[in-house]
Amino acid sequence: MAEQEAARPFATLQRFARRAAEAAEAALERCELCSEPIPPEHRHLLDTSRREIACVCRACSILFNREAASEGKYRLIPDRRLELRDFQMSESEWERLRIPVGMAFFFHSTPAHRVVALYPGPMGATESLLELHTWSELEQRNPVLASMQPDIEALLVNRARGAREHFLVPIDDCYRLVGLIRMHWRGLGGGQEVWREIGRFFAALRERSKPVPNV
């Protein structure tokens, strides 16, 4: 009897630990293909036909990391991040891109058969008309652009508030920036909070990016 009484606290702790573990597992994100729990840092797939991003577990990311999978509906988004410190773009070239804000990203769209330019704003990502010869000139002056993988990598440009930054990034980084701006934007100018978040985003991106020459 005494042994049973002594065991009760341990049984209670075990139940509490089990419930806590179950709650923690329920709070985790889940793979959108197989429903397995995934950690905060995980890979993504791009649905190229719908431009939708899916969170995936390690097993599914390995499955789609094969060359044969690159021709299908889903593409595994890479984790390459390059800081293009000597990127060549003049003020007149930027103006010819007709981007109304100080940030934009550019990628080769397989469904559209062309380079697409999008810029973030309080309503999400907006497409801007991009003349093919303008992009061709940039690509000639910046050979690194030829290494961008279609649909899943992008040139991210930050010229807001005097910045002159250029990155080659996974496409999900661009949509993360879009979501951040949409979530924190207030009023006509965005407010202080959104600009703090934008500053944090680019600071973190610089830390994760590898500086490369313009080759």
Per residue of the chain (215 residues), give pLDDT as tens: 545 554 554 454 555 455 544 544 555 689 998 989 988 888 999 987 777 889 999 998 888 876 445 556 788 999 999 999 999 998 888 888 888 889 999 999 888 888 999 999 888 888 887 777 788 889 999 999 999 999 999 999 999 988 999 999 999 999 999 999 998 988 877 788 999 999 999 999 999 999 987 65
CB 61 within 8 A of CB 46: no
CB 144 within 8 A of CB 168: yes
User: What pLDDT is recorded for position 19?
Assistant: 55
Residue whose pair of structure tokens reads 């703090």 in the numeric block: 196
Residue whose pair of structure tokens reads 């330019």 in the numeric block: 117
Here the tokens at position 29 are 């994100």
Cα–Cα distance for residue pair 106/174, rounded to 1 Å:
10
> On the CB side of 12, how many CA atoms lie within 13 Å of its CA?
6
pTM of the predicted protein model: 0.81
- Enumerate residues 6+ apart whose C-beta is below 8 A from 172: 44, 46, 53, 77
DSSP string covering 136-165, please? HHHHHH-GGGGGPPTTTEEEEEE-GGG--E
Cα–Cα distance for residue pair 117/39, rounded to 1 Å:
31
* Residue ranges in 36-186 assigned as alpha helix (H): 58-63, 91-96, 132-141, 171-184
User: What pLDDT is recorded for position 155?
Assistant: 97
Long-range contacts of 192-195, Cβ-Cβ distance < 8 Å, separation of 24 or more: 195/161
Cα–Cα distance for residue pair 208/215, rounded to 1 Å:
20
User: What pLDDT is recorded for position 215?
Assistant: 59
